[in-house]
């Protein structure tokens, strides 16, 4: 009975860690900044092998990282922070300029084109399973 309890508990631990292997991040980049600029948008494509949610992010180059949604509304730009981003199983969710993005706030130094910026992403599967994934965003100046 003790062995069965141990194996069951070990299975729970493995299931809580397994989602990290099923999350793919591609095309990760960050907008280079102008002198004095204290925010920068981070962009990437995220695909999960099971239903997940991106629930947070952090980076050592910023005081905070928030998830934002930008859209045009009533003749102006509207930007709203939100707590989590749903990642449907097998579908790629695009974080891009003029849409969903990660906003690095309180930058500690300017970010120049070519800089490599580390970011840690936090995920939740809605059933107690969590995962984190470290990614590197390459800073660029792009027209969009």
**Domains along the sequence of the chain with CATH:** 2-140 (2.60.40.1890)
* pLDDT of 1: 39
Closest CA to 93 of 54, 61, 120, 62: 54
Residue found by looking up tokens 């859209």 in the block: 71
Q: What string of pLDDT tens digits covers the 144 residues of the chain?
A: 343 333 333 333 333 334 355 899 999 999 999 999 999 999 999 999 999 999 999 999 999 999 998 776 778 766 778 889 999 999 999 999 888 999 999 999 999 999 999 999 999 988 888 899 999 999 998 755
* pLDDT of 2: 40
**Model's pTM, two decimal places?**
0.79
* pLDDT of 8: 34
């Amino acid at each position: 009975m003790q062995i069965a309890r141990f194996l069951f508990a070990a299975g729970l631990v493995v299931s809580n860690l397994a989602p990290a292997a099923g999350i793919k991040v591609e095309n990760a980049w960050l907008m280079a900044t102008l002198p004095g600029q204290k925010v920068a948008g981070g962009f990437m494509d995220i695909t999960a092998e099971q239903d997940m949610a991106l629930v947070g992010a952090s980076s050592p180059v910023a005081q905070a990282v928030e998830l934002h949604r930008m859209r045009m509304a009533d003749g102006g730009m509207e930007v709203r922070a939100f707590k989590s981003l749903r990642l449907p199983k097998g579908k790629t969710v695009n974080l891009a300029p003029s849409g969903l993005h990660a906003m690095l706030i309180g930058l500690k130094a300017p970010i120049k084109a070519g800089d490599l910026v580390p970011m840690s992403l936090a995920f939740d599967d809605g059933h107690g399973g969590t995962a984190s994934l470290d990614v590197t965003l390459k800073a660029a100046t792009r027209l969009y």
